[in-house]
Structure 1
Amino acid sequence: MVAEPTDAGPAEDPAPAGDSPPAEPEAPAGSFNPEVPLHALPGAEAVDWVPLHPRFARRLQVGAFLRSVVYVAAAGGLHITVLVRNPGAFAAAAPWLPAFLWTLLATFSVWSVIWPLIAVPRRGYVVREKDLLYKSGVLWRSVKAFPFNRVQHTKLDSTPLDRRFGLAGLSVFPAGGGRGNRIRGLGQETAERLRAYISERIESGAGTAEGR
């Protein structure tokens, strides 16, 4: 018995040796955005925070003491004025009110002098190649980052009391306007050097952007 030939159609040409499927087009440069594993992220302990100037806490204490003196003098003058005009005003309405107000004022004055010793050690800053970090807060803590490529300009400021202690504040203003962020408690020389460094980084970033 002879098998009948079957119509298998035209034979396919074998693929030339060495040919491979066409490669997928490469993604344009800068569009690759790989994931970063959590264990590769830098920890907060990797940042070496720089404390504020040692005299900053004393400067805040002196300022709080001077304000307390003004408050006590104003409260004393008001108290004397009320007693002279109407000696029985407190005795008839609320005899406990003067003692309560004086206790409240004394507590506020003492606490405002003690508070800098608690708050200042928890503040600090870090200058890095591309940004400036600043931390603050005791109960509600915050860490702010100021990227140099987003900074428009900086400003130094100091009050007479700041200059008495050799201190200055540095304000950093973002590009496009907006409220600036101020770092107080810097030494005068440190603030000037930091301002010069940030200005240099701003100019170098602007020059790089124009050269592209």
Structure 2
Amino acid sequence: MIRVLIVDDEALIRSGFTHILDTAEDIEVVDAVSGAEAMDKIIALRPDVVLLDIRMPDVDGLAILERLRDLSRPPVTAVLTTFDTDEYVDAALRLGAAGFLLKDTDPEHLIFQVRSLMTDGSALSSKVTRTIIAGYLSGAAPVQPNPLVERLTARERDILVLLAQGRSNAEISAEVFLGVGTVKDHVSSILTKLEVSNRVQAALIAERSGLLADRAGP
């Protein structure tokens, strides 16, 4: 059972996400709270996954992400976004955000992404990833190859491209005809070689290095 805590200042978002996730047999929403209650609930309930709004009037979501880093076993945390929070992307990534979810995401897709957070340690969809990356890069430094990419094998580069397109480990497994366990090993190796902590950061490197330029998404 995947235990989820929802943190958002809007009651409608909390109730909507709770209703959607409660329809999945393998997901339990342990609570849905505002930012002011978040840390106490996370410490008390120890959820596997946290869905966290960044812009909240009572407590800054980035402050919550920073405090989560002090926990011995922090939950996997995805940022809830409406695509108007590009200025927070870099800070959220540096503080350990494992992905970004649209607040108006389709119900089935929301359930899939929560499962991906648990199995892959991240939440990436092609739409969310490409939009977040494009928005982030538009205000970032000029695009140029990252020398760390040279550390990757040809197979790892192929897997990095698929990862950056928002594919899950299971989808990558089917695409490259490797077992899911082997794909996980490759992803772990990619993150280590690129010196990043999560798949979103790896996707940013792939985009900035031009690896996605000539490849269509799913």
TM bucket by the smaller chain?
A: under 0.3
TM-score scaled by length of structure 1: 0.24
More helix by share: 2
TM-score scaled by length of structure 2: 0.24
More strand by share: 1
Larger Cα Rg: Structure 1 or Structure 2? Answer: 1
